[in-house]
Amino acid sequence: MTNLMDLLQGQLTEGLVDQLSQQLGGADKQQTASAASGIFSTLVSAMSRNAASQEGADALASALDRDHDGSLLDNLTGFLGGGQQQAPARTTNGAGILKHVLGGKQSGAIDMISKMSGLDSGKTGNLMATLAPMVMGMLGKTKKEQGLDASGLTSILTGAVQGASQGNQEMGLIGKFLDQDGDGSIMDDIAGMGMNLLGKFLKR
């Protein structure tokens, strides 16, 4: 089965990370890459939870069919540079995608990823809005290429989360965060873990 997380991580080339860090006003490249990885994990996990119900899966499948066929990925440099004006507004509306996917958990997710990566929370929020259309595009492209229905989408998302969770502390914390209903904080765990993640990335 296609691993959605592997496909997304494969988009994070050195050139793309350079472009993203420049867009964020010259942000640290390691922090940008680490934050991008956390954003992918968070959005895929949140989509997996949303698609766990039939209604959520149907809504996601419909949104992908309507606005996210994956063509955005054919010219990422153009999209990031604002040059891909031919794409429908809903396809590139990162803020709108985040509202649907994360709802009221969006600001908490930004804080969490900021602490994990060391990237300033304002820049993390901008990066999240930039990358959200990429995640939808990758999922839409996979759906189209494999002819997936709503239940097939759920399987792809569940498989991506389970595969990424094995031995991955980051995914474990993201899962805990998304499962929270109250104001309980896992930020202390994240603050201690952020340096570990950064250290791992620097050793690559």
Question: What 3 state SS string does 77-135 have?
Answer: HHHHCCCCCCCCHHHHCHHHHHHHHHHHHHHHHHHHHHHHHCCCHHHHHHHHHHHHHHH
pLDDT score for 204? 47
Average pLDDT over residues 86-102: 88
Number of domains in the chain: 1
Cα angle 133-13-10, degrees, rounded to a multiple of 5: 65
In the block, which residue shows the tokens 């309980």? 184
49-53, 98-102, 111-115, 193-197: which range is least confident on average?
193-197
- What's residue 3's pLDDT? 87
Pick 90 or 94 by higher pLDDT: 94
Question: Containing domain of residue 130, as a range?
Answer: 4-202
CB 112 within 8 A of CB 52: no
Q: What is the pLDDT of residue 167?
A: 64
Average model confidence (pLDDT) across the chain: 86
The answer to whether the CB of 131 falls within 8 A of the CB of 36 is: yes
pTM of the model: 0.87
- 44 within 8 A of 135, measured Cβ to Cβ: yes
Please say whether the beta carbons of 164 and 171 come within 8 A.
yes
Tens-place pLDDT, residues 8-57: 999 999 999 999 999 999 999 999 999 999 999 999 999 999 999 999 99
Q: Which of 22-26, 81-85, 88-92, 173-177 has the highest mean pLDDT?
A: 22-26
CA distance 38 to 204: 16
Q: Are 165 and 178 in contact (CB under 8 A)?
A: no
